[in-house]
């Protein structure tokens, strides 16, 4: 059983085309607060980022935003957080979000969400951290990406243990249960060189 006190959420700065995306973001923010888990996220008040943060705050949860100064200057920072940390750049943002959390969750999003997700997953593979990484799936949003990941496993580019260790959940309850019971895979370079 993993002790999860804070969860970093990666998600879109856009709302997406379907109301179900916003509903899912709000459900996750609310569930984390009710479970006594803090929410760490990118600090914005736009799109699904703003929705997950506002829902967490409305439910009485701790919500910490981490945002680069350049985005604060564009006036997209959320005005009602437990704490807003302003950092120098995107690299510092991702590092700080990783430091503050015990788990990572990706909700639907775009390029930035994918970039954050894959960096955190790479760090797990390399043994830089041993924190669970989850995809919160809304209406099959992640299915095409999972098909590509499965292809990478089949072709020997991703070890099967890393695919199996990727949490996929479709309800807040299943997400929280999976994060609490997750076991980290053995890092890549502790295996023989022939293993992916």
Lowest mean pLDDT across 42-56, 68-82, 107-121, 143-157? 68-82
Per-residue DSSP letters for 40-107?
A: EE--B-SHHHHHHHHHHHHTT--EEEEEEHHHHHTT-B-SS-SEEEEESSHHHHHHHHHHH-SEEEE-
Is the separation of the CB atoms in 152 and 158 below 8 Å?
yes
Is the model's pTM score more than 0.85? yes
Mean pLDDT of 169-188: 94
> How far is the C-alpha of 100 from the C-alpha of 5, rounded, in Å?
9
Condensed to tens digits (0 to 9), the pLDDT of residues 96-110 reads 999 999 999 999 999
Residue 196 has pLDDT above 60, yes or no: no
pLDDT at 169: 98
Condensed to tens digits (0 to 9), the pLDDT of residues 32-64 reads 999 999 999 999 999 999 999 999 999 999 999
Q: Give the number of C-alpha atoms closer than 13 A to the C-alpha of residue 50, restricted to the C-beta side.
A: 13
> Residues with Cβ < 8 Å from 132, sequence gap 6 or more?
2, 103, 104, 165, 167, 178, 179, 182, 184
pLDDT at 1: 56
pLDDT at 192: 53
- Domains in the chain (CATH in brackets) are 6-181 (3.40.50.450)
Condensed to tens digits (0 to 9), the pLDDT of residues 124-146 reads 999 999 999 999 999 999 999 99
Closest CA to 164 of 156, 153, 172: 153
Closest CA to 44 of 98, 105, 112: 112
């Amino acid at each position: 059983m993993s002790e999860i006190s804070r969860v970093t959420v990666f998600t879109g700065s856009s709302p997406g085309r379907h109301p179900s995306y916003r509903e899912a973001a709000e459900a996750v923010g609310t569930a984390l607060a009710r479970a006594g888990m803090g929410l760490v996220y990118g600090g914005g008040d736009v799109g699904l980022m703003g929705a997950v943060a506002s829902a967490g705050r409305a439910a009485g949860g701790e919500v910490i935003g981490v945002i680069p100064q350049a985005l604060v200057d564009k006036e997209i920072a959320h005005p009602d957080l437990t704490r807003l940390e302003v950092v120098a750049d995107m690299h510092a943002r991702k590092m700080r979000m990783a430091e503050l959390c015990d788990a990572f969750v990706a909700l639907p999003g775009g390029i930035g969400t994918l970039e954050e997700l894959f960096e955190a997953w790479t760090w797990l593979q390399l043994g830089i951290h041993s924190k669970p990484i989850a995809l919160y799936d809304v209406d099959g949003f992640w299915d095409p990406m999972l098909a590509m990941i499965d292809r990478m496993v089949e072709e020997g580019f991703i070890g099967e243990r890393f695919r199996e260790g990727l949490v996929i959940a479709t309800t807040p309850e299943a997400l929280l249960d999976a994060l609490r019971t997750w076991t980290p895979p053995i890092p890549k370079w502790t295996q023989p060189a022939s293993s992916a």
